[in-house]
Amino acid sequence: MDTPKYKRVLIKISGEALAGDKHFGLNFEDVIGPVCDVIKRVSEIGCEVGIVVGGGNFWRGVKDGGGKMERTRADYMGMLATTINALALQDALEQRGVDVRVQTAIEMNKIAEPYIRSRATRHLEKGRVVIFGCGTGCPYFSTDTAAVLRAAEVNADVILLAKNIDGVYDSDPAKNPNAKKYDSLTYMDVLNQGLGVMDTTATSLSMDNHIPILVFALSDPENIYRVVTGENIGTIVKEEEVR
């Protein structure tokens, strides 16, 4: 059996990734099913898995509500969207026999546990997958920031940032065929060069708390297994190495 490189990981899955090619709603066949198959295998080799899920496949506060709605209310709608995704993932994981709990930052007692750090940690120790819904529970934040926050709180070894691109590039590879992919970057590189890995709040929070971020493509869900077992793919964002 493979040995995980990381004991505890926090996987951030954007809402849009869950929608697949349609960019809206949920794609169970091509995305959610295969992703949950891999999460099950990762959990079976002894890696503890927390998941923060986005909501962009249903609603993004600023993009969809900007100008037409009061900002905080639009953001709360985004947080509700993340909970829809959390429940979809929970269901797909349960169908595969994975022990899983959803905890939400905004209490929704009928459908999920409230987020309680010590309880989340206990679930992880017992090998249960924990899905964190509602982001941070606060408007003006993103689920990327929630991923870093939860990773810091539960002492995750790494944030696995599953994207629709296979790493971080110096320019947009969709527009520039000569775009160069980085294997490794520092948080300061990301901030200074304005690289589109995460928003600046999320990047600086991970920098301040020394949590590495591994960016890779979710288009091949097997990549989750690859990164957990230490294969060098994607781009790692971390502190400068002391030579």
Q: Which is nearer to ligand UDP, 140 or 230 (CB)?
A: 140
Shortest Cβ distance from residue 219 to ligand UDP (Å)? 16
Cβ neighbours of residue 109 closer than 8 Å, sequence gap 6 or more: none
Decide if residue 206 touches ligand UDP (CB under 6 A).
Answer: no
Question: Using the rule CB under 6 A, which residue among 20, 34, 50, 78 binds ligand UDP?
Answer: 78
CA distance 146 to 128: 20
Measured from the CB atom, the residue of 170 and 199 that comes closer to ligand UDP is 199
Instruction: Say whether residue 49 binds ligand UDP (CB under 6 A).
Output: no
| Other C-beta atoms lying within 10 Å of the C-beta of residue 171 | 11
Does 15 bind ligand UDP (CB under 6 A)? Our answer is: yes
Question: Buried (b) or exposed (e) across 112-134, using 16+ Cβ within 10 A?
Answer: bbebeeeebbebbeeebbbbbbb
Shortest CB 76 distance to ligand UDP, Å:
7
The Cα–Cα gap between 84 and 79 comes to: 9
Contact 103, 113 (CB under 8 A): yes
- The nearest distance, CB 59 to ligand UDP, in angstroms, is 6
Answer yes or no: are the C-beta atoms of 162 and 12 closer than 8 Å. yes
Told to check if 89 binds ligand UDP by CB under 6 A, we report: no
> Rounded to the nearest whole angstrom, what is the least distance from the CB of residue 239 to ligand UDP in the complex?
24
Kindly list the residues in this chain that would bind ligand UDP in the complex (CB under 6 A).
14-16, 54-56, 60-61, 75, 78-79, 81-82, 135-136, 138-139, 141-144, 146
